[in-house]
Amino acid sequence: MAEPDLAVDVGGGLTLRNPVIAASGTFGYGLEFAGVTDLTAIGAIVVKGLSLEPHRGHPAPRILETAGGLLNAIGLQNVGVRAFVEEKLPLLREIGTPIVANCWGHVPEEFAEVGARLADADGLAAVELNVSCPNKREWGRIIATDPDLTRQVVRAVRARCRLPLWVKLSPNVTDITSIARVAEEEGADAVSLVNTFVGLAVDLETRRPVLTNGTGGLSGPAIKPIALRMVHDTARAVKIPVIGMGGIGDADDALEFLLVGARAVQVGTASFVDPRATERIAAGIAAGLRRRGYADVNQWIGTLRAPPGR
């Protein structure tokens, strides 16, 4: 059987060669992985969350391994949008793989300013709005846990950013589908989910939290079943494409997210375990589809059947 067609339409006119995307904050600015893994073998690269000015993030300790997961409170350290556009983007453009800029601000206007500067830059495929970082005390709360605040931010950015717009959702809510609908109403081209779950680790000797931020965001295999349920529910609640993530470590994990309705997937923490994880998962999806007789990944996406006995 010929190689299955892996191309997916992720909204806003953007088509990816395959559905595997490197997740923000776990793949640097992409360039760090050149020479380690084949950057042309994946669908897209999402870079570390960018802000108007360079940002140092939180002091160490800010990352900790947990059972089946990773707890981090990096605090959105980044070089700032200007250095990204001037120094990183020209090199990234040469790779030929779509580059997605993850970004954030302190208030809606700042989000919009960053979005506008990214839209003016040459060579980006999309912008992903990080309204779901659990480690930004300055926000007062996680933006994507509040429908009104989410609406304000997406509206402000949409008005100034002509690039395909992905809104990244927080799992730290009772009903993620209601926030997804807000993003869709305000003109998002896709929603991506999930960001990390708020967690806590404590030190018995010092009787203090381990991380300087206190809490952190949990990612990795430990969160996969919850993320999968949220992606499943969201894919049924909105018409725009859903980009799924949370604990994906191999091709079978990715195929599960696609089966429940994700149009594409992002791979995060797994790249710390195996820097070639994204490339390996893309190849594994092709093999998994071929083995099951599928000629096109779109014939697989969203075809979950009813539970046994129903």
Ligand X SMILES: Cc1cc2nc3c(=O)[nH]c(=O)nc-3n(C[C@H](O)[C@H](O)[C@H](O)COP(=O)(O)O)c2cc1C
Question: What binding mask, one character per residue, do residues 58-97 give for ligand X by CB under 6 A, x or -?
Answer: ------------x-x-x-x---------------------
Among 4, 11, 12, 25, binds ligand X (CB under 6 A): 25
User: What pairs with residue 47 in β-bridges?
Assistant: 101
Please compute, for residue 6, the number of CA atoms within 13 A of its CA located in the half-sphere on the CB side. 26
Does residue 133 carry a catalytic annotation? Answer: yes
Question: What binding mask, one character per residue, do residues 41-60 give for ligand X by CB under 6 A, x or -?
Answer: -------xx-----------
Of 131, 133, 182, 230, which one is the catalytic site residue? 133
Q: How far is the CB of 303 from ligand X (least distance, A)?
A: 23
Please compute, for residue 262, the number of CA atoms within 13 A of its CA located in the half-sphere on the CB side. 26
Interaction of residue 195 with ligand X, rule CB under 6 A: yes
| Spatial contact of 1 and 295, defined as CB atoms under 8 Å apart | yes
| Spatial contact of 41 and 282, defined as CB atoms under 8 Å apart | yes
Q: How far is the CB of 73 from ligand X (least distance, A)?
A: 9
Cα R_g (the chain), whole angstroms? 18
d(CA 307, CA 106): 43
Max CA pair span of the chain: 60
**First CA to last CA distance, the chain:** 33
Restricted to residues 205-224, the positions that interact with ligand X (CB under 6 A) are 219-220, 223
Among 8, 20, 24, 256, binds ligand X (CB under 6 A): 24
Interaction of residue 150 with ligand X, rule CB under 6 A: no
**Distances in whole angstroms, Cα of residue 181 to Cα of each of 63, 94, 196, 199:** 32, 36, 20, 26
d(CA 22, CA 28): 10
Q: How far is the CB of 197 from ligand X (least distance, A)?
A: 9
State which residue, 70 or 238, has the beta carbon closest to ligand X: 70
Question: What binding mask, one character per residue, do residues 249-288 give for ligand X by CB under 6 A, x or -?
Answer: ------------------xxxx------------------
Indicate the DSSP class of residue 52: S
Size of the residue set binding ligand X (CB under 6 A): 26
The residues annotated with a catalytic role in the active site are: 133
Interacting residues toward ligand X by CB under 6 A: 23-26, 48-49, 70, 72, 74, 76, 102, 130, 168, 195-196, 219-220, 223, 245-248, 267-270
